[in-house]
Amino acid sequence: MYSFVSPQKKLVEDFRELRATVEKMGLLKPNCTFFLLYLCHILVLDVAAWLTIWYFGSSTVPFLFSALLLGTVQAQAGWLQHDFGHLSVFSNSKWNHWVHKFVIGHLKLGIQKKKFMPYNHQHKYFFIIGPPALVPLYFQWYIFYFVVQRKQWVLWHWCEICDGFVCFSVCRFIESNWFVWVTQMNHIPMHIDYDKNVDWFSTQLQATCNVRQSLFNDWFSGHLNFQIEHHLFPTMPRHNYWKVAPLVKSLCAKHGIEYHCKPLLTAFADIVQYVSTHCIFWVKGCSTSLKDSGELWLDAYLHK
């Protein structure tokens, strides 16, 4: 007498087994040295930006180089605060929250998250205000609003208008482009749909892609080039993604699921292709990846 197990149920069981294996291998335990060195490298870049202006003066070349360093600091601090936000650095969630507040509120000069975003219109404005203007304009305005609304006066000193405002805006411009391209490369070209009661593993592999690993790609993207592994194991420290990736690939091969992984420039080009071809000139009734995902977000917010 043979027992029949549905493919989806078998996949769920295998994923649970993989999760147990990951815990036994200690892949959910953080390496504090990694995060300490990561924080130190951010502080070194910050000091280097200051020393550039102090030693070489504020002429064009030192100014732009310093702004580039500061933009890099902001981008890298963004990846670091993301680690604390996912509770993947300390075993105590309060410690994660406190250090998260320090990194995002001070190293990142006070950026805060806003609950509502007009996702249902993102296909219309992506290239206009997406990469270049999201952080220096929209998020920057929201910093002032947040500080006053929540009475977070300790953050106010970052909001003062001074002679460094231009440098501040340039580094924000660099950070904004960096942030948008990296965060969108894993999802926009992928399939977006309503919840069809599919298992977690299949859903993440359908809507997420990775970018090939290299020392530069890991650093540049804050290890979000392993977005598949990040979604499957949200609290896993990112320095362990490369260790679990072969196990995830093996599970995909076993169940005939495609594991999407592409070069960095190809990932960027796919964003341009999807947005330019379908979304920059909006036509009523068109069906596109970015527009459809925006409608799904709107439905989720309005609970339709």
Q: Residues 207-217: pLDDT tens digits? A: 899 999 999 99
Last residue of a domain, one of 160, 183, 206: 183
Q: With 70 as the cut, is the pLDDT of residue 289 above it?
A: no
Range ranked top by mean pLDDT from 69-73, 146-150, 196-200, 223-227 = 223-227
Between 119 and 192, whose confidence is greater?
A: 192
262 phi/psi in degrees, rounded to 5: -140, 165
pLDDT grade for 156, boundaries at 50, 70 and 90: low
Same domain, 98 and 197: no
Pair (98, 163) in one structural domain: yes
Q: Do 172 and 42 share a structural domain?
A: yes
- The reply to whether 196 falls in a domain is yes
The whole-number average pLDDT for the span 91-99 is 86
CB 291 within 8 A of CB 282: yes
Task: Evaluate if residue 269 carries a pLDDT over 70.
Answer: yes
Can you give the pLDDT at residue 44? 95
Is residue 103, in this structure, part of any structural domain at all?
yes
Cβ burial of 94 (10 Å; 0-12, 13-18, 19+) is exposed
Closest CA to 9 of 207, 255, 194, 250: 255
Is 248 within 8 Å of 259 (Cβ atoms)?
yes
My answer on whether 58 and 177 are in the same domain is: yes
Same domain, yes or no: 145 and 231: no
Segment among 84-88, 114-118, 213-217 with least mean pLDDT: 114-118
Other CB atoms within 10 Å distance of the CB of residue 280: 15
Residue 220 reports pLDDT greater than 90 = yes
What is the mean pLDDT of the segment spanning 106-121?
A: 50
Band (115; pLDDT cuts 50, 70, 90) = very low
Model pLDDT, residue 267? 93
Residue 287 has pLDDT above 70, yes or no: no
Cβ atoms within 10 Å, residue 129: 15
Q: Which of 183, 214, 249 is the last residue of a domain?
A: 183
Whole-angstrom Cα distance, residue 66 to residue 74? 12
Count of structural domains, the chain: 2
In a domain, 239, yes or no: yes
Same domain? For 108 and 153 the reply is yes
Residue 256 has which token pair? Answer: 């005939």
270: Cβ contacts below 8 Å, ≥ 6 apart: 185, 188, 189, 262
Q: Domain of 179?
A: 32-183
Q: What's the confidence (pLDDT) of residue 80?
A: 93
Whether the pLDDT of residue 278 is over 70: the answer is no
Q: Residue 210: helix, strand or coil by DSSP?
A: strand
Determine if residue 286 is left, alpha or beta; phi over 0 gives left, psi from -120 to 50 gives alpha, anything else beta: beta
**Domain co-membership, 19 together with 104:** no
How far is Cα 100 from Cα 87, in angstroms, rounded to an integer? 9
Are 162 and 105 within one domain? yes
CA distance 18 to 153: 46
Q: Are residues 168 and 46 in the same domain?
A: yes
Domain presence at residue 287: no
Same domain, 75 and 192: no
Q: Give the pLDDT of residue 92.
A: 84
Is the separation of the CB atoms in 45 and 69 below 8 Å?
A: yes
pLDDT of 158 = 54
Residue 84 in any domain: the answer is yes
The number of beta carbons lying within 10 Å of the beta carbon of residue 127 is 14
Cα-Cα-Cα-Cα dihedral of 242, 248, 249, 250, to 10°? Answer: 120
What confidence tier does 247 reach under pLDDT thresholds 50, 70, 90?
very high
Residues 196 and 165 in one domain: no
- Per-residue confidence (pLDDT) for residue 165, from 0 to 100: 66
pLDDT at 167: 73
> Does residue 99 sit within a domain?
yes
Together in a domain, 14 and 53: no
Residue ranges of alpha helices (H) inside the chain are: 7-24, 32-56, 60-85, 93-102, 122-129, 140-150, 165-184, 200-207, 215-221, 227-232, 241-254, 264-278, 289-302
pLDDT of residue 99: 85
Domain boundary among 183, 209, 225: 183
129 pLDDT more than 60: no
Whether pLDDT at 69 is above 90 = yes
| Band of pLDDT at residue 261, cut at 50, 70 and 90 | very high
**Residue 272: inside a domain:** no
Please write the tens of the pLDDT for every residue from 165-212.
Answer: 677 778 888 888 898 899 889 988 887 776 777 889 998 998 899 999
Element (H, E) at 237: none
In the chain, the percentage of residues whose pLDDT exceeds 90 is: 42
In a domain, 285, yes or no: no
